[in-house]
Amino acid sequence: MALSRFCQIKWEQAKALRREGRLAEAEKELLEALEEAPYHALLRSSLANLYVRQGKLLEARVLIDQILKADPHCAEAMVVRGEIASKERRWPEALQDFEQAWQMDPQPFLILRRGRTLREMGRYADALEILDSALVADGKNVRLIKEKALVLNRMQRWEETLELYEKLRLLTPEDSFVQKEILRLKGLSRSGDKVIKELQTTVGLSSRRDDAQLHGLLAQKLKEAGQVQEAAAEYRTASDLAPENFYFLKQQGFCHYNLHEYDQALECLGRAFRSDPADFYVKGALEKIYIKLGRPEDFLALLEEVRGLHPHQRKVMGWIKTAKKLLQAKEDRGPQQDTP
């Protein structure tokens, strides 16, 4: 069913706002369009997609289930269902949805979705086959080249990866991630101390001191060299510069954990876990810290909080059951007395 002129304008405005990251405003535009066409699949799928970007996965799933119940062959809804599965790291289900959507409506962006999902599943050869086929027709597609570089990096094919990032540097000279990867790959053949000194000099330059990617790379190299305290400081700088990138915050938390600085570790990893409860490694570190500190009740409280924030995360219920057992075991032991 075609959109009315009013709905078409609202939908286009919502798309433009979404590209700018103004998600709340985009949602408002779509909701106004849905007042005129409350059952239009494209509008509802677009709204569900916004919900995914905002982390409202439960709301997104409700909408998508309704759309697919009315029209099991709605490609837009299948794509969003795949995005939900990706957020929850259910890669086989995500791939199935993206593949079905591709069969019904082979939109170019689905090439990237399928390639990325195959990479996450460790099916690197299949990912390269899809990406190479697309690059034959569109050899300067930055997103496809970057995804291929990520796949080759996972395969430890360093020279080929470096070649792609050098090509990307010409296409996107302002991309700090690309610049960071070039430095990292070139540094593989040099000693760690030399790389660290070069990076410290680079991030000290006025033009690069606000580059979160470079601070993150320096932190990685410092950690590899056993300078964990210094690495934590660099990860903190990177996180402050790019607060939307929770990778830096997680790594800062792991550094504090390795240093037995548990209060700082709980602060960093707790914030990251509230945002991304699907990260099993973060959850595992938090559990170990709370158990070591004898505070299973606080771990349970965190899990209960996360369940409220992410009711779609089914694994959290199982973790809550385990945490309750830990708490019960502590209560059964009774108060611990210090030995003389």
With a threshold of 0.85, does the pTM exceed it?
Answer: no
For 187, phi then psi, to 5°, come to -75, -10
Indicate whether 190 pLDDT > 90.
no
Task: Please tell me the least confidently modeled range out of 1-15, 284-298, 316-330.
Answer: 316-330
Alpha-carbon span 280 to 319, nearest angstrom: 11
pLDDT, residue 278, reads 83
pLDDT band at 313 (very low <50, low <70, confident <90, very high): confident
pLDDT, residue 143, reads 96
Place of tokens 């995360």: 313
Domain 245-331 has CATH 3.40.50.620: no
Domain 190-243 has CATH 1.10.3470: no
Indicate whether 335 pLDDT > 80.
no
- DSSP-assigned states of every residue in 177-195: HHHHHHHHHHGGGS-HHHH
Alpha-carbon span 148 to 30, nearest angstrom: 34
Annotated domain spans of the chain? 1-105, 108-173, 190-243, 245-331
For 123, phi then psi, to 5°, come to -95, 70
| pLDDT, greater one: 281 or 190 | 281
Same fold, 1-105 and 245-331: yes
Q: Which CATH architecture has domain 1-105?
A: Alpha Horseshoe (1.25)
* Residue 303 CB partners (closer than 8 Å, separation 6+): 316, 319, 320, 323
pLDDT band at 329 (very low <50, low <70, confident <90, very high): confident
**What DSSP state is assigned to residue 340?**
-
44-58 confidence digits (pLDDT tens): 999 999 999 988 888
> What is the CATH number that goes with domain 108-173?
1.25.40.10
